[in-house]
């Protein structure tokens, strides 16, 4: 890793633990900082905090005392989940203390070439595709994946060398806390309205996404979705070389679809039908991944090999199993309406039993109605089950079942299904009303599906 001296003998406050905060604290200590960690979780139920204390790091747990900032900290490293409206963060801003997220800390010490991936939907799948493409048949260096995908960037940054590539999934929350991060290749999958409870306005959300490219130069590349006019317009402002991808236009400067084939800069790479995961959105993900792979010198043969056997990502339109002719899919990562619409569009010719519901963020679900054409039944749960029932009725769906949770929804959905149906968990909502995160929600769903016994059903 690079020798970063800005933190040496400086007081640094880490606000919020979880994986990113824990490893940021460890790294900062290694870089010579005087580290203080502040986490809202009580110490008695906070093993990470206890671990840090045992290693000699100062930890204040149980609340966020604003007066802590009177200690003249040089930097604040903020957990991305803590909003900038938090009183402690607000006070740090008033004091003009630089506030970074852990990914910026990682970028400051990273020697490897960085491929940064962001967007409203498709980030994890695209990141995983790119990682597998760069890792396959590699003869020099290592391809890593990190960031919002669940692997702390600061851990990978310490291991990766100048011969390596790091593919980093980056959320808008993380990107708000960068200063010097400069991806050699930046990827923006798509942009729609999301996380307004955090960002306040759509403009602020979009601006956070576009921070990914703000430090790029003419030596770098921006790969972005040319089927969104907003993205094309904003791409004119980057200093990087714009490499577009499109499902609808033949763009000889980038990746595109023509006559059922995926092309890059006029060269046919592979057939659309060879992609191992269904859906038009996965065609877009594959186009973005192919663009990165070709810029990195990956052969067409390797691209075909990897993408044709790509099985998807857990909780993202993940195929679970087939039970007496019904195919179950887990799309628990669908935490907004656009993601659910995308999942539904992946099965244009099959009857669907849709499982949906979760945290009520105050919106209605009428925008989902046009995508419910092939939905024969809806099983809804969580805080939004009444609103989703109203949307289902508006769509003319006759079978609408309200149930307790994702587990009871599995049995209900099977009971109203027939051979040939797709049974799809695509909640269109965050999980936090009932589950800690979408992964846990998806795990409960998968376990319930795996436990289904055909003899116990109709």
Domain ranges, ordered by start, for the chain: 11-100, 104-308, 318-451
Q: Is the pLDDT of residue 194 over 80?
A: no
Of 13-27, 103-117, 170-184, 305-319, the least confident = 305-319
Confidence band of 139 (pLDDT split at 50, 70, 90): very high
pLDDT > 90 in the chain, percent: 88
Backbone angles phi, psi at 168, to 5 degrees: -120, 120
CA angle 336, 339, 345 (to 5 degrees): 140
Superfamily of domain 104-308: Mur-like, catalytic domain (3.40.1190.10)
CB environment 245-271: b (16+ within 10 A), e (fewer)? bbbeeebeebbbbeeeebbbeeeebbe
Q: Is the pLDDT of residue 196 over 80?
A: no
Confidence band of 458 (pLDDT split at 50, 70, 90): very low
What does the alpha-carbon distance between residue 325 and residue 25 come to, in Å, rounded to a whole number?
Answer: 51
Per-residue model confidence as pLDDT tens digits over 1-58: 999 999 999 999 999 998 999 999 999 999 999 999 999 999 999 999 999 999 999 9
CB atoms within 10 A of CB 301: 12
What does the alpha-carbon distance between residue 441 and residue 338 come to, in Å, rounded to a whole number?
Answer: 19
Q: Is the pLDDT of residue 169 over 80?
A: yes
Quickly list DSSP for 429-456.
S-STTTSSSHHHHHHHHHHHHHH--GGG
What does the alpha-carbon distance between residue 136 and residue 131 come to, in Å, rounded to a whole number?
Answer: 9
Q: What is residue 193's predicted lDDT score, i.e. its pLDDT?
A: 66
Q: What is residue 457's predicted lDDT score, i.e. its pLDDT?
A: 46
Confidence band of 146 (pLDDT split at 50, 70, 90): very high
Sequence-ordered list of residues with C-beta below 8 angstroms from that of 332, at least 6 positions apart, any chain? 315, 406, 425, 427, 431, 438, 439, 441, 442, 445
Per-residue model confidence as pLDDT tens digits over 364-392: 999 999 999 999 999 999 999 999 999 99
CATH code matching the domain that covers 11-100, chosen among 3.40.50.300, 3.40.50.720, 3.30.1330.20, 3.40.50.10320: 3.40.50.720
Class of residue 289 by CB neighbours under 10 A (exposed 0-12, middle 13-18, buried 19+) = buried
242, β-bridge pairs: 222
Name the pTM for this structure. 0.80
Classify domain 318-451 by CATH architecture: Alpha-Beta Complex (3.90)
Structure tokens at 65: 């005392």
User: What's the mean pLDDT in 134-163?
Assistant: 95
Angle of helix 123-135 relative to helix 280-295, nearest 10 degrees, comes to: 40
What does the alpha-carbon distance between residue 240 and residue 118 come to, in Å, rounded to a whole number?
Answer: 16
Q: What is residue 448's predicted lDDT score, i.e. its pLDDT?
A: 97
What does the alpha-carbon distance between residue 334 and residue 356 come to, in Å, rounded to a whole number?
Answer: 9
What does the alpha-carbon distance between residue 393 and residue 337 come to, in Å, rounded to a whole number?
Answer: 17
Per-residue model confidence as pLDDT tens digits over 256-303: 999 999 999 999 999 999 998 888 889 999 999 999 999 999 999 999
Q: Is the pLDDT of residue 325 over 60?
A: yes
Q: What is residue 319's predicted lDDT score, i.e. its pLDDT?
A: 85
Q: What is residue 311's predicted lDDT score, i.e. its pLDDT?
A: 78
């Amino acid at each position: 890793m690079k020798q970063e001296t800005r933190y040496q003998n400086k007081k640094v406050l880490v606000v919020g633990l979880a994986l990113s905060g824990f490893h940021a604290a460890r790294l900062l200590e290694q870089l010579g900082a005087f580290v203080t960690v502040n986490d809202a979780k009580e110490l008695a139920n906070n093993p990470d905090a206890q671990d840090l204390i045992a290693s000699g790091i100062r930890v204040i747990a149980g609340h966020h005392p604003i007066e802590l900032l009177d200690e003249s900290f040089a930097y604040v490293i903020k957990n991305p989940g803590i909003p900038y409206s938090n009183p402690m963060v607000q006070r740090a801003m008033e004091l003009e203390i630089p506030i970074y997220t852990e990914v910026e800390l990682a970028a400051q010490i990273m020697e490897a070439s960085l491929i940064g991936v962001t967007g409203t939907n498709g980030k994890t799948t695209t990141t995983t595709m790119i990682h597998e493409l760069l890792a396959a048949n590699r003869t020099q260096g290592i391809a890593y994946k990190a960031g919002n995908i669940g692997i702390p960037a600061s851990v990978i940054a310490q291991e990766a060398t100048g011969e390596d590539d790091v593919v980093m999934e980056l959320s808008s929350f993380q990107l708000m806390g960068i200063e010097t991060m400069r991806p050699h290749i930046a990827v923006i999958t798509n942009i729609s309205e999301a996380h307004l409870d955090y960002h306040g306005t759509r403009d602020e959300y979009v601006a956070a996404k576009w921070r990914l490219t703000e430090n790029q130069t003419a030596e770098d590349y921006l790969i972005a979705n040319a089927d969104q006019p907003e993205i094309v317009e904003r791409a004119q402002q980057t200093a990087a070389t714009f490499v577009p991808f499109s499902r609808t236009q033949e763009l000889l400067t980038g990746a595109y679809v023509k006559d059922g084939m995926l092309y890059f800069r006029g060269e046919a790479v592979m057939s659309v039908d060879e992609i191992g995961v269904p859906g038009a959105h996965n065609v877009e993900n594959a186009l973005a991944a192919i663009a990165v792979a070709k810029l990195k010198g990956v052969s067409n043969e390797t691209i075909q090999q990897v993408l044709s056997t790509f099985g998807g990502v857990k909780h993202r339109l993940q195929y679970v199993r087939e039970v007496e002719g019904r195919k179950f899919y887990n799309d628990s990562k669908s935490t907004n309406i656009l993601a659910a619409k995308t999942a539904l569009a992946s099965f244009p010719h099959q009857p669907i039993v849709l499982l949906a519901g979760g945290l009520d963020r105050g919106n209605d679900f009428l925008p989902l109605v046009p995508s419910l054409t092939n939905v024969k039944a809806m099983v809804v749960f969580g805080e939004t089950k009444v609103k989703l029932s109203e949307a289902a009725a508006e769509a003319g769906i006759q079978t609408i079942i309200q149930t307790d949770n994702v587990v009871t929804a599995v049995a209900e959905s099977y009971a109203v299904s027939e051979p040939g149906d797709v049974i799809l968990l695509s909640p269109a909502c965050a999980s936090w009303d009932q589950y800690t995160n979408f992964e846990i929600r998806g795990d409960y769903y998968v376990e319930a599906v795996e436990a289904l016994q055909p003899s116990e059903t109709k």
